[in-house]
Amino acid sequence: MRTMLSAKSVIALLLILIGAGGLVLHAQWQKVRPVDRQSAVGDVSELDPEMRAAVSFLDDFELKRAPGQRDWLASHHEPGQSYGQYLRSGANVPKKGKDTLYILPLGTFGLGSSPKLSQLASYTEAYFHPMKVRVLPAVALNDVEAQTRERSFGTQLHSEDTLKWLEGKLPSDAYAMLAVTMVDLYPRESWNYVFGQASLKERVGVFSFARYSGGVGGGGEKVPKELALERSVKVLTHEFGHMFGVLHCIYYQCNMNGSNHLGEVDVSPLQACPVCLRKFHHACGFSAKTRYRKLLEFCEAQGLEDGAKFYKSRLEKMP
Ligand SMILES: [Zn+2]
Ligand SMILES: [Zn+2]
């Protein structure tokens, strides 16, 4: 099996720095020129009419905002990844027999404002249509072979240990597997916490939603269940997106934007921009219209108003 990003071992281990007090490098942010944004989408003449429409009518997409001091692009110099660069990166695409996305719950879900696993699965299935998404039986936290430590708000799980343990658990028909948990994570002793960690080479990752529902690091305030769900599905599809070899987006406000803190997660939209959508289309081969319909149905049923508004408007423009 080829790695997700050939010859890119440097990013084989992707540490999600959000909120973890990572290095601040003060990279120089430069506004993307319209001509570069257009060429990042690439030549769309060969696309089927639905997909051509899905990457057109660009007024529906907000351009990437200039980063604030604490934002991702203020501290990470990212040149972006055009559709052409994505193709040339040799990113792996799903094949028959290796075409299932697995979600592995660690510990308990569905209590309080934590998202329901069935909701996470159906959103992921719509987003990466027509990939199969399966939720594996939950593993009790005691059965995860990883160190833990105690903090005033509760137990934290060692994310690097968890990743190593996950590598041996990847099902044979998996394209990728992400473990999800409501327990807080830490990557090493000196770090306070981390939102998640993934190994693109091994196609596994672990992500905590503990800080999205306000219980940990959120001042103890409970957030509305729609917001907790929205944050969780954003992060899950963003991280599965990386597994498809898609790098951070610098072109539009997009689900593939890097995020340095929760506020940035909240202003990034649920949807992929035209550049990233084209990459997912290459990998998954969906009908743009069917995918939009499924996502609209989910957003309407779960009260995700911004998402519903976006998908409704896109569907109206489909041929
Ligand atoms: Zn990312
Ligand atoms: Zn994008």
Go through the domains of the chain in sequence order and give each one's CATH number. 9-17+32-316 (3.40.390.10)
Which residues, chain by chain, have CB under 5 Å from ion ligand 2?
249, 254, 256, 273, 275-276
| Separation of CA 31 and ligand 1 centre (Å) | 20
Q: What confidence score (pLDDT) does residue 220 get? A: 57
Distance CA 223, CA 212 (A): 8
Q: DSSP label at 298? A: H
- Ligand nearest to the backbone CA of 63: 2
Read off φ and ψ for residue 123, nearest 5 degrees. -65, -45
| Separation of CA 49 and ligand 2 centre (Å) | 20
Q: What confidence score (pLDDT) does residue 276 get? A: 98
Residues marked as catalytic: 239
Q: CA nearest 122: which of 309, 296, 310?
A: 296
In which residue ranges of the chain is pLDDT below 50?
A: 1-13, 15-26
| Separation of CA 234 and ligand 1 centre (Å) | 11
Mean pLDDT of the residues in the chain: 88
- Ligand nearest to the backbone CA of 234: 1
Q: DSSP label at 1? A: -
- Ligand nearest to the backbone CA of 82: 2
State how far Cα 82 lies from the chain centre: 18
Task: List beta partners, residue 269.
Answer: none
